[in-house]
Chain A
Amino acid sequence: MTQLRHVEPGRIRGYAPIRDYAAIGDGRTVAMVCRDGSIDWLCLPALDSPSVFAAIVDAERGGRFLLEPAVPYEASRRYVPETNVLETTFTTATGAARLTDAMTLPGGGLAPFRELVRRVEGLSGSVRLRWRLEPRFGYGSARTRIERRDGVPVASSGSDALALHTWDAGESVSDDQAVTGDFETDEGRKSLLVLTAAHQEPLVLPTRDDSEDRLEATARFWREWARGREYSGRWSEAVIRSALALKLLVHAPSGAIAAAATTSLPEEIGGERNWDYRFSWPRDAAFALEALLALGCAPEARAYFSWILHASQLTHPRLQVLYRLNGRADADERSLPLSGYRESGPVRVGNGAAEQTQLDVYGELLEAASRFASAVGGLDRDQGRRLAEIADYVCECWQQPDSGIWEMRSEPADFIQSKMMCAIALDRASELAVRGLVPAKHLARWSREQKRIRAFVERRGYSERKRAYVQRAGSDVLDASLLLPILAGYDDPRKPHLIATVDAIRSELGRGMLVHRYLGEDGLPGDEGAFVACSFWLVEAYALQGRLEDAEALMEELVPLANDVGLFAEEIDPRTGEFLGNFPQALSHLALVTAAVAIEAART
């Protein structure tokens, strides 16, 4: 068998820039497709299952599904408008071909458990393409057996299996490592490569017509879903793309929203700030509810809110920092024997932050509950009772030191943002009690404790020297998370202390249009990029403070920082513009949506 040499015009030692990836998915898992036609990340059967392709974090051993021209080429790509179906156009000296990638939705009939469709159409001239499927189950460490069944290559490991079906895509050759093939496409000619997966069941082997029909139906579904979104303001393209990216991160079986589709894409190249984000953080609830409701995604908002209350039942009234997508509370962290993106190890699965105390989550949850109740017209009796118990718990725990919103791995401290969010928790609980939606038995206590928290914040959390609220009690360190209480209505956003805090954050933590989370010590070696969500929070803070020109100007600068298909990672290196951290990141897109909505609201 001829060994293929992967042409890697944009790769450094086998790794493409993070911004070269685009996400496709089916509401259960997400595949990351590189600009060069290589699918470098796919977990099966769910997003938080072990990977079968993980070349994004280990180019040698991770596994991938490559499909690209066999000669030098240029690639351009886009999502088919209003969909999560990706189109990559390869242009070579002899012709052009278009690759369409999608994970299909099942629809009617007996569909494969999971299906990834790759369709190639000749646009002009002729293009020779080659493909190579390297399945590596279990994050590259499980034994993968490749065999042929009636000519169809099947890769299996334990209770998982993949089959590759090809039509007009050349003869496939397989060995114990990979399945490969090549073919030439001419103008008008269509080829199809369909990867089907099974988990704990026999494979469903599709016909070409059915797979193509599902591809069309999938594009139709996304288009109809996107057209149902309600934002029509100035940044509608970015907002709708964000909505589609978020929908990819919604775990359809439970309603949970994953923080990102990947694990361990580094916050610093070569550093160890690599985390598994394939979990759902209740902290994101307030943003998620606001964004989903603003976009007219009431079913998703309802499912997500129900999921949070369901998932937190086992730890009630304490809220865990994160939960698994199926609602389970265990998230044991371990390192995988993978080299990491551009040698940025370790590659972690699970998330040790689950064990931390982070008090701000209560504010986010109660704020989300308040928004949810207003949008759907109420809460049920059980929801109300549990929210009241959570408010009682906040009264008991707010004085404890915690790890803060940024999950710092240094010693717990009195993070001011956490205290402010605790005050917001009690404020929202009181508001819900006054509306008759939660039991009002402890209303007086909630009010008393809220006053104590606010007094603490004013006494220990405001620095006259910095003219801003600060990260920890008694410190002079600024922190962009202090924008969040402003967005959540801690106080009138136009009050001088809050305006001064916003200005201080911009001037000290800002790098051009981007904003760092903080610049101080956090218990880990190394540095990191600017945090995308913080930059959009700044936009929203400006809008709430009536500084519309500042908000719009910053938004104008931020939106084009997305990659060519409109996706954001967690961070951006302000010096190089390089994406850092997990990708695509829900919080970045949630913050974009809420910022755009806040600007529209401030305009009217």
Chain B
Amino acid sequence: MIWGAIVGGFVGTLVLTTLLRAASELGLTRMDLPFLLGTAFTPDRVTAKAIGYALHFGFGLVFALVYYAVFLVIDASGFLLGALFGLIHGLFAGTALVNILLPVVNPRMGTSFTAAGSTPLLEPPGFLLLNYGRRTPLATLVAHIVYGAIVGGFVSLAS
């Protein structure tokens, strides 16, 4: 069953990343999660993207395992329940994870407390990531709901 979560996490992250890239190409958002994650470690764009993608997939697996733990506790799983988790996950990402926590760990991202320093600053995402485009919350929520549904579905299939 845990393999269901691992496979679901990988496939879900793959689909989530693809959806967000597509949203970017369609002009719905400027959010680029691998870029935001990777620049926490290096100012080099290419390296940042490589690190960012690796981290993003790592986090995708970690979140799938968290979903899996909750499924175990409540003794239920399935793609609909996964989709609900995805919705909560997406709201958490937009309100706290990327908006509050990422700026804390990414030294290149500004917060409302940051004064001009010697390091270039990344545009902060703002509440619900709205700074990256008005449709960013929609794109993020849809992508996370799909992610959750895939994880829930795979866990259910494997059990």
Q: How large is the interface on B (under 10, 10 to 19, 20 to 34, 35 or more residues)?
A: 20 to 34
Complex-state Cα separation, A111 to B32, whole angstroms: 16
Q: How far is the CB of A254 from chain B (nearest CB, A)?
A: 17
Q: How far is the CB of A106 from chain B (nearest CB, A)?
A: 8
Find out whether the CB atom of B30 lies under 8 angstroms from the CB atom of A207. no
Residue of A nearest to B32 (CB): A201
Find out whether the CB atom of A110 lies under 8 angstroms from the CB atom of B118. no
Interface string of A160-175 (1 = CB under 8 A from B): 1101000000000000
Complex-state Cα separation, A148 to B10, whole angstroms: 38
Find out whether the CB atom of A198 lies under 8 angstroms from the CB atom of B131. no
Find out whether the CB atom of B123 lies under 8 angstroms from the CB atom of A209. no
In the bound complex, residues from chain B placing their C-beta under 8 Å from that of A202 are: 30-32, 35-36, 122-125, 131-132
In the bound complex, residues from chain A placing their C-beta under 8 Å from that of B159 are: none
Interface string of B79-103 (1 = CB under 8 A from A): 0000000000000000000000000
In the bound complex, residues from chain B placing their C-beta under 8 Å from that of A210 are: 118, 120
Query: Given A159-B24, A159-B29, A161-B30, A198–B133 Cβ distance below 8 Å?
Result: no
In the complex, A14 has a CB within 8 A of chain B: no
The A112-165 residues at the B interface (CB cut-off 8 A) are: 112, 145, 149-150, 154, 156-161, 163
Find out whether the CB atom of B28 lies under 8 angstroms from the CB atom of A109. no
Query: Given A108-B43, A110-B43, A204–B118 Cβ distance below 8 Å?
Result: no
Q: How far is the CB of B80 from chain A (nearest CB, A)?
A: 32
Find out whether the CB atom of A204 lies under 8 angstroms from the CB atom of B24. no
Find out whether the CB atom of B133 lies under 8 angstroms from the CB atom of A205. no
In the bound complex, residues from chain B placing their C-beta under 8 Å from that of A154 are: 123, 131
In the bound complex, residues from chain A placing their C-beta under 8 Å from that of B36 are: 202
Find out whether the CB atom of A203 lies under 8 angstroms from the CB atom of B120. no
The B32-72 residues at the A interface (CB cut-off 8 A) are: 32, 35-36, 39, 43-45, 48
Find out whether the CB atom of B120 lies under 8 angstroms from the CB atom of A200. no
In the complex, A206 has a CB within 8 A of chain B: yes
Query: Given A200-B25, A202-B125, A202-B132, A209–B118 Cβ distance below 8 Å?
Result: yes
Residue of B nearest to A112 (CB): B120
In the bound complex, residues from chain A placing their C-beta under 8 Å from that of B43 are: 108-110
In the bound complex, residues from chain B placing their C-beta under 8 Å from that of A112 are: 120
Complex-state Cα separation, A109 to B48, whole angstroms: 11
In the complex, B108 has a CB within 8 A of chain A: yes
In the bound complex, residues from chain B placing their C-beta under 8 Å from that of A206 are: 120-121
The size of the chain A interface, using a CB distance under 8 A, is: 30
Residue of B nearest to A109 (CB): B43
Query: Given A203-B122, A204-B122, A110–B39 Cβ distance below 8 Å?
Result: yes
In the complex, B78 has a CB within 8 A of chain A: no
Choice from B120, B126, B132 contacting A204 with Cβ under 8 Å: B120
Residue of A nearest to B27 (CB): A158
Residue of A nearest to B111 (CB): A150
Find out whether the CB atom of B27 lies under 8 angstroms from the CB atom of A204. no
Find out whether the CB atom of A150 lies under 8 angstroms from the CB atom of B112. yes
Residue of B nearest to A211 (CB): B120
Q: How far is the CB of A291 from chain B (nearest CB, A)?
A: 31
In the bound complex, residues from chain A placing their C-beta under 8 Å from that of B24 are: 159, 200
In the bound complex, residues from chain B placing their C-beta under 8 Å from that of A207 are: 116-121
Find out whether the CB atom of B120 lies under 8 angstroms from the CB atom of A110. yes
Chain A residues proximal to chain B, CB less than 8 Å: 106, 108-112, 145, 149-150, 154, 156-161, 163, 198-210
Give me the 5 closest cross-chain CB pairs, A-B, nearest first: A158-B27, A110-B43, A203-B123, A202-B123, A200-B24
A-B contact list, 6 entries, CB within 8 Å: A108-B44, A110-B39, A110-B45, A149-B126, A207-B119, A210-B118
Given contacts A149-B123, A207-B118, 20 further A-B contacts (CB under 8 A): A109-B43, A110-B108, A110-B120, A145-B134, A149-B124, A154-B123, A158-B133, A159-B28, A159-B30, A160-B30, A200-B30, A201-B30, A204-B123, A205-B121, A205-B123, A206-B120, A207-B121, A208-B116, A210-B118, A210-B120
